[in-house]
Structure 1
Amino acid sequence: MKITASSPLLYTVAETYALDAAAIASGIPAIQLMKRAGRAAYDLLIERFPAPARITVYCGAGNNGGDGYILAALAAQRLVPVVVIQLTPPDALSGEARQAYEYALQEGVVMQPFAAAQAPVEGIIVDALLGIGLRDAPRAEFAAAITQINRTGLPVFALDIPSGLNADTGAVAGEVVQASLTLSFIAIKRGLLTGRGPAVCGELVLANLDVPEKTYAAASPSAERIQLAELQGLLAPRAADAHKGDFGHVMVIGGDTGYGGAALMAAEAAARSGAGLVSIATRPEHIPAILARRPEIMACGVVSGQELEPLLARPTLLVVGPGLGRSPWSEQMLQQAVKSGLPLVLDADALNILAAGRVVPSARQRNEQSTPWLLTPHPAEAARLLGITTAEVQADRFAAVQAIQTRYNATVILKGAGSLVAASGDKIAVVTDGNPGMATGGMGDVLCGILGALAAQGLSQPDAARLGAVIHACAADLAAEDVGQRSLLATDLIPYLGELL
């Protein structure tokens, strides 16, 4: 996902409205902000799509429709063929939107009501239908217009947000515009970057409309993008006399019968991410394959929790869950890991067992403890941890990741398009790197190995989570450049970890 914006800060709808109100209070008339938005949109359209055969602007009401009318007026001034398709009758427009409509009318823009308009067959479509205030599914006529836009197959330029997308959550309740390019005004809305957002907004550009810097300085947004360049300094250069004991010992616990590869991928990722020592506790039958693949890893076969217990005296941190399964053996492994009091990275079936309530501590007891935990659920695992449905998690990923963080007193990565990182007292962080090729088995195993290694080297769980999540995504982008997204395998990421770290 390409994002053109200098600031990493992300805003809710309410926070954006507050910025808008503060800008107006500073002396910028509301109509002037709308004209700046229309101008920025027109300039970007012509930059990305020079000499369009025709511009078709679908206009609703409110500020979003007003922005569309301004853009259409500017196109008409420059003799670019432009048509406005109206979803809201002119007599229903008010305020700045009405002024923008009259401006477009003055410039001779051709306007047609949606009911009488034909779908465009050439040029560029501008989506100025619904804006950032939408909370539910679009009403019938707007849904029909969105369907029409998507069926044209033409490039679509969305103003502020693709219509139908929830700007706060990234969820979609009905029809949604599939944009090629989105220009976000004043601030990047956080819903553009997670859930369905990355799939429907295309390239994302920010126009700050020359809002004074002091307006932003007074704001306190609740989310931010993770930027790799700002985090790479967390790992200091190694001293010339360093030894392996300085960089932690990660033990991966997992690999029930038939799932040894998951534990091995996590361990290899940990080794490549700088852990001084890496070991695996797994089913005995997996040991020969592990040693053949990666002899640097210390492999221990264990058949019970009792056999695992003495091995837990040496590690700095435990990664529990890759290939763990949900058998009695699996539960014994997790019980011993929790009992050890060591920092934990929990993934996959470790989360499912935890959610089922068969392993102490309970959520309440967990909140009374201080041992660092890092949880890495995908949406279905998050739903089990919260006792809700996967659809409910995806309907508000920000609320879900915050709820898990609070319930388990842990740092949490909610995986998926636009993975979210939540830690106590911090802004929710959003991963905007990565690609659809990561939708394949083993990616989570590699991620938790990276996380374990970073935390074992002395990073706090929140820092390890942010750096590890973005390193994982960037490695996937580099690997996809070589093998393509469709052919990407989890182990393809591992050679790029050294390059990035």
Structure 2
Amino acid sequence: MKLSQNLYRPAQVTELDRLAIEGQGIDGYELMNRAGARAFATLMARWPEARAITVCCGGGNNGGDGYVVARLAREAGLGVQLIALKSPEELSGDAARAARDWQQYGGKIEPADERLRGDVVVDALLGTGLDRPVRDDFARLIEHINDSGHPVLAIDVPSGLSADTGMPQGISVRADVTVSFIGRKRGLYTGQAGRWCGERVFDDLDVPRVIYDSVQPDAELLAPSQIKQWLPPRTPDTHKGMLGTVLIAGGNAGMAGAPVLAAQAALRTGSGLVHVATRAAHATLAATLQPEIMGHGVEELSNLDPLLDGADVLALGPGLGRNDWAGVIWRRLLKSDKPLVLDADGLNLLGDSPIERGNWILTPHPGEAACLLGVEVSDVQADRFAAVRELAQRFGATVVLKGHGTLIAEPTGNVAVCPFGNPAMASAGMGDALTGMIASLRGQGLDDFDAACCGVLLHALAGDRAASGRRQILASDLIGALHRVLPA
């Protein structure tokens, strides 16, 4: 894993910081000055027209970074308004030194009730260690920042956002850019982080790479460069029999199109053959919409068994429903030893009747995850990392927890996070397309975890391509954009 893809919990980043200072002999104030310099450079690159800034400082090293930014801005000739919620006398260590340098340079400190006069606001109030709701003066100033209408640069994390879970602690600064240092914090990439972080910028502050050897990252950030590793060029003698046969089961009354979308996505992702097992009344729909799909009416298990025998991978759930027909199909496929991707009502039926099975991939959204865990949706969202790991361990499965910052976990505890995707993808059928894509990749020979990671990444990137300049896209738009993100 590349260091740039590593994600850490806040306590782990604190340990990386300690290792840089104590283990590598880097002066702590030197690191603070590097952080302040990189934050100021980011500010000027994003808002080069700014002539004045407002810096809001709290206590601790986060506030110290803010004092450094203020001093550098003043040195560069910008007007600087500095608002502090902790007096310099209350600070200690490097933060106190940064405050003294600011004052010795002629800088002044204003109270929090002053009007925010800068063209850009720098948020250096609360750092990554926040573990309780924001209250009192901090909450009031955060609200003031959000109401000001000024663009905001957050240092390390928007104040009030948990850098561990991506959820606000009561209230959070809404930043346009968040610049973080030394280690990427996992909470900036999932949960509600997208509402508050804006553009995310990372800088390792040139610390020695050796410090990362002592701290095992908590998760991995997926990157487009990985796709070619998962999907190398095909050999000249490739034929459809080498690319996997996918069987997709679903499409109950009123939901005939769901398995067709999954099948279209599987074909576009590279499957050699795709079958759809559905209600008899819907059997011709697949071929009508996509002639390359083979549709089969399945009202009896005797109709299903030959399809199971010929399949390399199964996908169960798109439009499945929860009636007697669905239950019969569900039980038969889960008894099979073929690789299986389980989604939608397939997951809801699993919540009703948990069973043990290996060699499978579960793809719940937060509501389905809550059903499987027997908790509320808010509990899942409060710590998505904990939820996806518990699901993976409980069911012995690779689990895809969908949503902003989709998480993929395997039973060992390994987790990957997808930083791509967009709000225009919030429409029906998106999950069906993802199911078909993951099943296709599993049938092409990827293992469960790689198939899930690659499928999620391709799905998000295709969604980004399809959504360019558009408020809303359909699942069919995303499927149509897959050729733009798949390697040749």
Q: Is TM-score (shorter-chain normalized) higher than 0.5?
A: yes
Q: Which amino acid aligns with 2:282?
A: H
Superposition map of 1:38-57 within 5 A: 38-57=36-55
Equivalent pair of 2:158/2:172 in contact (CA under 8 Å): yes
Pairing partner for 2:259 from 249, 263, 267: 263
Unaligned runs of 5+ in 2: none
Task: Indicate the larger mover: 201-210 or 407-416.
Answer: 201-210
Pairing partner for 1:152 from 126, 132, 148: 148
Equivalent pair of 1:76/1:108 in contact (CA under 8 Å): no
- The verdict on how the C-alpha distance between 1:51 and 1:292 changes in structure 2, with shifts beyond 3 A counting, is closer
CA RMSD of aligned residues (A): 1.6
Pairing partner for 1:318 from 305, 314, 318: 314
Post-superposition Cα deviations, 1:309-347, rounded to whole Å, max 9, x if no partner, equal: 343211111100111111121111110101122111001
Q: Counterparts of 1:233 and 1:212 in 2: how far apart (Å)?
A: 28
Report the alpha carbon displacement of residue 295 of structure 1 after superposing the two structures with TM. Answer: 1.4
2:476 pairs with 1:491: yes
Q: Counterparts of 2:344 and 2:157 in 1: how far apart (Å)?
A: 34
Equivalent pair of 2:317/2:344 in contact (CA under 8 Å): yes
Pairing partner for 1:422 from 382, 389, 409: 409
Report the alpha carbon displacement of residue 304 of structure 1 after superposing the two structures with TM. Answer: 4.2
Q: Counterparts of 2:461 and 2:362 in 1: how far apart (Å)?
A: 20
Q: Counterparts of 1:321 and 1:178 in 2: how far apart (Å)?
A: 38
Superposition map of 1:23-38 within 5 A: 23-25=20-22, 26-38=24-36
Superposition map of 1:307-346 within 5 A: 307-346=303-342
Post-superposition Cα deviations, 1:215-250, rounded to whole Å, max 9, x if no partner, equal: 123321121111121232322433333332211110
Which position in structure 1 is the counterpart of 2:290?
294
Pairing partner for 1:210 from 199, 206, 210: 206
- The verdict on how the C-alpha distance between 1:20 and 1:251 changes in structure 2, with shifts beyond 3 A counting, is same
Equivalent pair of 1:181/1:202 in contact (CA under 8 Å): yes
Superposition map of 1:393-432 within 5 A: 393-425=380-412, 427-432=414-419
Q: Which amino acid aligns with 1:87?
A: L
- The verdict on how the C-alpha distance between 1:340 and 1:37 changes in structure 2, with shifts beyond 3 A counting, is same
Superposition map of 1:85-96 within 5 A: 85-96=83-94
Which position in structure 2 is the counterpart of 1:392?
379
Q: Counterparts of 2:283 and 2:318 in 1: how far apart (Å)?
A: 15
2:338 pairs with 1:353: no
- The verdict on how the C-alpha distance between 1:209 and 1:243 changes in structure 2, with shifts beyond 3 A counting, is closer
2:180 pairs with 1:177: no
Q: Which amino acid aligns with 2:67?
A: Y
Equivalent pair of 2:7/2:186 in contact (CA under 8 Å): yes
Which position in structure 1 is the counterpart of 2:485?
500
Equivalent pair of 1:305/1:329 in contact (CA under 8 Å): no
Post-superposition Cα deviations, 1:277-307, rounded to whole Å, max 9, x if no partner, equal: 1000111222232221111111011224454
Superposition map of 1:448-459 within 5 A: 448-459=435-446
Post-superposition Cα deviations, 1:77-102, rounded to whole Å, max 9, x if no partner, equal: 22210011111233322221111111
Q: Counterparts of 1:231 and 1:34 in 2: how far apart (Å)?
A: 37
Q: Which amino acid aligns with 1:14?
A: A
Which position in structure 2 is the counterpart of 1:189?
185
Post-superposition Cα deviations, 1:333-362, rounded to whole Å, max 9, x if no partner, equal: 1101011221110011101110112xx62x
Equivalent pair of 1:169/1:191 in contact (CA under 8 Å): yes
Q: Which amino acid aligns with 2:7?
A: L
Post-superposition Cα deviations, 1:147-190, rounded to whole Å, max 9, x if no partner, equal: 11011111100000101111111112311111011110111111
Equivalent pair of 2:393/2:412 in contact (CA under 8 Å): no
Q: Percent identity?
A: 46
SS of equivalent to 1:418? coil
Superposition map of 1:180-259 within 5 A: 180-259=176-255
Post-superposition Cα deviations, 1:86-130, rounded to whole Å, max 9, x if no partner, equal: 11233322221111111111112231121x32233x500000010
Equivalent pair of 2:285/2:295 in contact (CA under 8 Å): no
Post-superposition Cα deviations, 1:453-475, rounded to whole Å, max 9, x if no partner, equal: 00001110111011111000110
Q: Which amino acid aligns with 1:63?
A: N
Q: TM-score by structure 2 length? A: 0.96
Task: Indicate the larger mover: 199-208 or 400-409.
Answer: 199-208
Task: Indicate the larger mover: 83-92 or 403-412.
Answer: 83-92
Report the alpha carbon displacement of residue 426 of structure 1 after superposing the two structures with TM. Answer: 6.1
Which position in structure 2 is the counterpart of 1:106?
104
Which of structure 1's runs of 4+ aligned residues deviate more than 6 A?
none
Pairing partner for 1:444 from 417, 431, 434: 431
Q: Which amino acid aligns with 1:23?
A: A
Pairing partner for 2:467 from 480, 492, 501: 480
Q: Which amino acid aligns with 1:258?
A: G
Post-superposition Cα deviations, 1:413-457, rounded to whole Å, max 9, x if no partner, equal: 111111011123363111011111111111110001000000001
Q: Counterparts of 2:263 and 2:215 in 1: how far apart (Å)?
A: 42
Unaligned runs of 5+ in 1: none
Which position in structure 1 is the counterpart of 2:11?
14
Q: Counterparts of 1:86 and 1:389 in 2: how far apart (Å)?
A: 39
Q: TM-score by structure 1 length? A: 0.93
Q: Counterparts of 1:443 and 1:28 in 2: how far apart (Å)?
A: 48
Q: Which amino acid aligns with 1:93?
A: L
Q: Counterparts of 2:302 and 2:194 in 1: how far apart (Å)?
A: 46
Q: Counterparts of 1:391 and 1:111 in 2: how far apart (Å)?
A: 40
Report how many aligned residue pairs link the two structures. 484
Pairing partner for 1:381 from 368, 386, 393: 368
